[in-house]
Amino acid sequence: MDLNIKYGAIVNMADYSAMWPVFIPLIVGLAPGLVYWFAITARRTGK
């Protein structure tokens, strides 16, 4: 069980480090959309 948890943690770390170059453009691309969505929801709620 302990070995399995350690192996899973190593695999997750490797996956995340490999995925960072994919996530960075995704976050940069989605950031304006999120800001726009926040502006719409803030305006809709009247804040």
| pLDDT, tens only, 1-47 | 576 677 666 666 677 777 778 778 888 889 999 999 999 998 988 76
Per-residue confidence (pLDDT) for residue 40, from 0 to 100: 93
| Residue 1 three-state SS | coil
Per-residue confidence (pLDDT) for residue 21, from 0 to 100: 81
Domain of residue 3: give its range: 1-47
Per-residue confidence (pLDDT) for residue 1, from 0 to 100: 57
Q: What's the pTM?
A: 0.40
Report how many domains make up the chain: 1
Instruction: Quote the tokens at residue 23.
Output: 């996530």
Per-residue confidence (pLDDT) for residue 41, from 0 to 100: 92
Q: For residue 35, which amino acid is it?
A: V
Number of Cα atoms under 13 Å in the Cβ half of residue 15: 6
Alpha helices (H) along the chain: 2-45
Instruction: Quote the tokens at residue 6.
Output: 């350690």
Which residue from 27, 24, 17, 20 is spatially nearest to 9, judged by alpha carbons? 17
